[in-house]
Amino acid sequence: MAPLFPCFYDFSIMHTKKINRENLPKGACLCEYCPAKCCRYFALPVDAPENVKDYDYIRWFLLHDKASMFVEDDTWYLLVHTDCKHLQSDNRCGIYMTRPEICRAYSTDNCEYDDDTVYEKYFETPEQVVEYMEATVLQADFACQRTPEPELLPVLN
């Protein structure tokens, strides 16, 4: 079977300037210009939150470093920002010939090179989840989620 990235062996000099996909030189591989975005995270679908407890789990996810949540086509995803341990400094795959099937099935035809993705919803902090929950869930259901506002400090003369 021919590799999806037939130019995988031609990475001796990585290009530093990003070019538009449509301006790719004839015979060049898009991967030569790419920062390997697809190898720097993974996303897993999760059940859409339906109640306060579900939102609390999402808050818990976001209390962990390098995690965020997004919604695309009404599906919720946990996004973990982490490099593949086989990603080399030149953005090449260190196990290209034995890479997992998910990597083999990925092609430059639908890759994220252009960075034009806009999510329906995107959460980076637990506080954003609480704000979203406040706007979408009845007030009585989340009253215990926020800490009370602290008392004002006395004014000193």
Long-range (24+ apart) CB contacts under 8 A made by 112-118 are: 112/37, 112/38, 113/21, 113/30, 113/33, 113/34, 113/37, 114/20, 114/21, 115/37
Residue 92 lies in a domain: yes
Residue 157 lies in a domain: no
Residue 99 lies in a domain: yes
If one compares 155 and 75, the residue with the highest pLDDT of the two is 75
Give the pLDDT confidence of 52-106 residue by residue, as tens digits: 899 999 999 999 999 999 999 999 999 999 999 999 998 889 999 999 999 999 8
Residue 111 lies in a domain: yes
**Domain enclosing residue 66, as ranges:** 30-142
State how many domains the chain has: 1
Rounded Cα–Cα distance for residues 105 and 108 (Å): 10
Residue 34 lies in a domain: yes
DSSP assignment of 114-133 equals T-----SEEE-SHHHHHHHH
pTM over 0.75: no
Q: In the chain, pLDDT over 70 holds for what percent of residues?
A: 82
Residue 93 lies in a domain: yes
